[in-house]
């Protein structure tokens, strides 16, 4: 059951395509408190209440005990003390033995989630503006609540199949030659690869939709060369438009009033990579149509994937903010500057970026009305993504495109995926990557992954290897690093062969991963789930933060500590462990429900398959299109029989239907072994473990 309650004058956010009518009664369970414009909703927490959700945030799968804020922020330091990252996903599930409640706070402004932080036995959610819709979802189970919410917010974005390949990226591939080198180094070592991301370096002076032809002389020719190698180019597009007469995008935007404004109606100016820039008002439909149409020139050049960045929107400084800071510093010139003044002035400069005062000087247009940006701040990235998605659909309707964004709000999941932003080459961020997966899935974001190896800071060889061992399971599998970080392409390291072998696993698992992804997207399910979702009666399973369920039949448990040669794993039921080194090299270990210490050498990673289930396993390949998903081996631990529903399609067509893509694989035991059938499939059952092998 879903009920909607409205407060103040809610803004149409687009999170929910067809909202149910608002209730007339008062909302149960929560008590309300007004203070000025702000409106708080509080809910008592028992000592056993779990809180799930909130999508892209720091800390645990269980969100209880911290203060989170919805305020999309360009903050590259994802430390535990942070309250907000790039996205606002205001969906929560409260669960204990007495109550199960899904709640979505549809509010595009500043919202605070005090989840047992001020008072351990109370959750208080505060909307700063008090204009919002709240949706209450009550169902029988965690899975059902999530599915009902997902159904409400609409189907998740479907990427093309090639987007499940391994992608290599770096801020700093500064020329065509750099890109070609990356491709050659992978192909010559048989490291599988499906795409190379182009960061802002390809642009001419960081102007969107331009190419610096001195370094990338012919993008279409480069794209064609790479297509021959089965590799896609994936350029970045930023939100800010360089302020410069004669730059077409700028001129068109000014001529048509496409940019966000100041209070006086003049276009708002803030500095990002191109210097002083304008910000398209993506809340306006004509602006989205115009901006989205710009992607066409790249599509015509043979490019089929993009990433949208800086769309919180990030602001490095505003001219007035910077001028004030310089004045303050100037006032100290020649003085014997005291330490307090020194720290103050340092803070003034630190606080120029993403300053709330600047967002309060920016105006957008919603339904013909001017509205201060900070009331709708969290919708900016979503609407840039929408512009791109709709633009591509209009220009090339017969294909799916790869699109992932940094900033998002619930609703953006219908238009693209998300990457998890500027993480660091820290072991804790490998674990954070894992924890974000189920939380993002609950909020609709299925196509996601983090920068493998870590974006900021210098990675280490073992961190990259361990991170790849997680990355093989995440739909977006991209190695990405900052310009000032150590080179972290696989081929830079002594143990590149071990890393390559890990990547081959991704391709062996590809039919399985694609199948699980598409089934989840098409049935509003979560590909990654906390153990609590499937084992709510198992108190040990419910509190696990470093293992997650993958698809219907699997569980993953990566190693996330340096120098570890294994880890503790809790099995909520009997499972077959694959201790994997490469697509052709793994051990199959049937294991009983319970606690286990598992030895895992640096080049080994585990995948657990529930007893009684099988999963498909392909021959590894160098790129996605070369994976033969009709000719499969089956892995698993079989009792009498099992069924696997394999979803597959051509990987491009946008109008997919679950029933058209499903092939049922039936497996059963016979006197002489195992027999498997599936329409049009060649199936090899040699990898299936039978009961006799049980511990």
Least separation, in Å, of the C-beta of 457 and ligand MIG?
Answer: 14
Least separation, in Å, of the C-beta of 454 and ligand MIG?
Answer: 12
Q: Which listed residue (312, 422, 604, 649) binds ligand MIG by CB under 6 A? A: 422
Q: Whole-angstrom Cα distance, residue 135 to residue 34?
A: 19
Q: Collapsing DSSP states into helix, strand and coil, what is residue 582?
A: strand
Q: Which listed residue (56, 131, 194, 309) binds ligand MIG by CB under 6 A? A: 309
Least separation, in Å, of the C-beta of 362 and ligand MIG?
Answer: 19
Q: What are the Cα distances from residue 691, in Å, to 382, 453, 609, 679? A: 50, 39, 14, 26
Q: Which listed residue (109, 159, 421, 590) binds ligand MIG by CB under 6 A? A: 421
- Nearer to ligand MIG by Cβ, of 309 and 648: the residue is 309
- Nearer to ligand MIG by Cβ, of 39 and 200: the residue is 200
> Token match 């642009």: residue?
203
Q: How many CB atoms lie within 10 A of CB 668?
A: 14
Least separation, in Å, of the C-beta of 551 and ligand MIG?
Answer: 28
- Nearer to ligand MIG by Cβ, of 354 and 421: the residue is 421
DSSP 336-395: ---HHHHHHHHHHHHTTTT-HHHHTT-EEEETTEEEEHHHHGGGHHHHHHHHHHHHHHHH
- Nearer to ligand MIG by Cβ, of 91 and 404: the residue is 404
- Nearer to ligand MIG by Cβ, of 402 and 576: the residue is 402
Residues in the interface with ligand MIG (CB under 6 A) total 11
Looking at residues 385 to 414 of the shown chain, list those that interact with ligand MIG (rule: CB under 6 A).
Answer: 406
Q: Whole-angstrom Cα distance, residue 373 to residue 109?
A: 9
Q: What are the Cα distances from residue 669, in Å, to 192, 444, 633, 675? A: 35, 38, 16, 6
Least separation, in Å, of the C-beta of 480 and ligand MIG?
Answer: 6
The answer to whether 694 and 590 are in contact (CB under 8 A) is yes
Least separation, in Å, of the C-beta of 450 and ligand MIG?
Answer: 11
Selection from 155, 369, 358, 207 nearest residue 283 by Cα: 369
Least separation, in Å, of the C-beta of 200 and ligand MIG?
Answer: 4
> Does the footprint of ligand MIG cover residue 216 (CB under 6 A)?
no
Question: What residues pair up with 135 in beta bridges, in sequence order?
Answer: 4, 104
Q: Whole-angstrom Cα distance, residue 150 to residue 5?
A: 18
Least separation, in Å, of the C-beta of 404 and ligand MIG?
Answer: 11
Looking at residues 466 to 505 of the shown chain, list those that interact with ligand MIG (rule: CB under 6 A).
Answer: 480
> Token match 């199949």: residue?
161
- Nearer to ligand MIG by Cβ, of 423 and 501: the residue is 423
Q: Whole-angstrom Cα distance, residue 480 to residue 171?
A: 8
Question: At residue 58, what are phi and psi to the nearest 5 degrees?
Answer: -75, 175
- Number of residue whose CB is nearest ligand MIG: 171
Least separation, in Å, of the C-beta of 290 and ligand MIG?
Answer: 23
DSSP summary character for residue 165 = S
The answer to whether 573 and 593 are in contact (CB under 8 A) is yes
The answer to whether 178 and 608 are in contact (CB under 8 A) is no
Least separation, in Å, of the C-beta of 321 and ligand MIG?
Answer: 17
- Nearer to ligand MIG by Cβ, of 390 and 489: the residue is 489
The answer to whether 113 and 65 are in contact (CB under 8 A) is no
Site pattern 165..204 for ligand MIG (x: CB under 6 A): ------x---------------------------xx----
The answer to whether 454 and 465 are in contact (CB under 8 A) is no
Residues found near ligand MIG in the complex (CB under 6 A): 171, 199-200, 236, 309-310, 406, 421-422, 455, 480
């Amino acid at each position: 059951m879903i009920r909607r309650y409205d407060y103040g004058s809610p803004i149409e956010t687009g999170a929910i395509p067809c909202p149910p009518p608002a209730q007339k009664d008062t909302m149960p369970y929560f008590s309300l408190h007004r203070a000025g414009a702000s409106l708080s909703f509080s809910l008592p927490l028992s000592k056993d209440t779990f809180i799930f959700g909130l999508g892209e945030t720091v800390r645990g799968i269980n969100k209880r005990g911290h203060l989170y804020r919805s305020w999309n922020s360009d903050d590259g330091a994802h430390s535990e003390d942070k309250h907000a990252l790039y996205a606002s996903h205001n969906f929560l599930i409260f669960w204990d033995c007495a109550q199960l409640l899904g709640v979505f706070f549809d509010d595009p402004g500043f919202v605070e989630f005090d989840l047992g932080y001020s008072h351990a036995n109370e959750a208080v959610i505060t909307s700063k503006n008090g204009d919002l819709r709240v949706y209450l979802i009550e169902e029988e189970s965690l899975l059902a609540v999530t599915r009902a919410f997902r159904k409400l917010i609409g189907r998740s974005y479907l990427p093309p199949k090639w987007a499940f390949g391994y992608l290599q990226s770096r801020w700093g591939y500064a020329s065509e030659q750099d890109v070609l080198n990356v491709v050659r180094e992978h192909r010559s070592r048989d490291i599988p690869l499906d795409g190379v991301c182009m960061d802002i370096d390809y642009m001419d002076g960081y102007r969107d939709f331009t190419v610096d032809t001195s370094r990338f002389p012919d993008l279409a020719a480069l794209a064609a060369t790479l297509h021959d190698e089965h590799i896609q180019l994936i350029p970045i597009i930023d939100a800010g438009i360089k302020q410069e007469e004669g730059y077409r995008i700028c001129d068109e935007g000014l001529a048509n009033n496409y940019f966000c404004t100041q209070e006086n109606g003049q276009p708002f100016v803030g500095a990002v990579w191109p210097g002083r820039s304008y910000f398209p008002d993506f809340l306006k439909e004509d602006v989205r149509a115009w901006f989205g149409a710009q992607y066409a020139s790249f599509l015509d050049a043979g490019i089929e994937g993009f990433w949208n960045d800086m769309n919180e929107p990030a602001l490095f400084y505003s001219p007035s903010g910077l001028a004030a800071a310089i004045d303050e510093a100037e006032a100290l010139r020649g003085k014997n500057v005291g330490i307090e003044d020194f720290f103050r002035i340092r803070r003034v400069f630190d606080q120029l970026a993403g300053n709330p005062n600047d967002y309060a000087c920016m105006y957008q247009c919603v339904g013909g009305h001017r509205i201060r940006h900070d009331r709708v701040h969290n919708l900016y990235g979503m609407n840039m993504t929408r512009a791109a998605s709709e633009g591509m659909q209009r220009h090339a309707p017969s294909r799916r495109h790869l699109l992932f964004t940094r900033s998002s709000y619930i609703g953006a999941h219908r238009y693209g995926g998300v990457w998890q932003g500027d993480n660091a080459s820290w072991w804790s961020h490998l674990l954070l990557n894992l924890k974000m997966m189920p939380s993002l899935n609950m909020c609709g974001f299925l196509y996601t992954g983090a920068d493998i190896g870590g974006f900021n800071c210098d990675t280490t060889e073992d961190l990259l290897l361990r991170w790849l061992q997680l990355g093989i399971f995440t739909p977006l599998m991209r190695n990405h690093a900052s310009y000032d970080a150590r080179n972290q392409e696989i081929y830079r390291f002594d143990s590149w062969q071990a890393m390559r072998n890990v990547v081959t696993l991704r391709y062996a698992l590809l039919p399985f991963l694609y199948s699980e992804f598409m089934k989840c997207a098409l049935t509003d399910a979560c590909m990654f789930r906390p153990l609590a979702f499937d084992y709510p009666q198992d108190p040990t399973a419910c509190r696990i933060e470093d293992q997650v369920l993958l698809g219907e039949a699997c569980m993953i448990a990566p190693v996330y500590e340096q120098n570890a040669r294994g880890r503790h794993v809790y099995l909520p039921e009997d499972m077959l462990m694959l201790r994997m080194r490469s697509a052709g090299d793994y051990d199959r270990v049937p294991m009983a429900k319970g606690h286990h210490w598992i030895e895992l050498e640096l080049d080994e990673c585990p995948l657990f398959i529930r007893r009684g289930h099988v999963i498909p396993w392909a021959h590894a390949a160098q790129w996605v299109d070369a994976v033969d998903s009709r000719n499969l081996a089956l892995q698993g631990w079989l009792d009498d029989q099992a069924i696997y529903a394999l979803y597959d399609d051509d990987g491009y067509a946008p109008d997919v239907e679950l029933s058209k893509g499903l092939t049922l694989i039936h497996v059963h035991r016979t006197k002489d072994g195992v027999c498997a059938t599936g329409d049009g499939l060649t199936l090899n059952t040699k990898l299936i473990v039978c009961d006799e092998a049980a511990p």
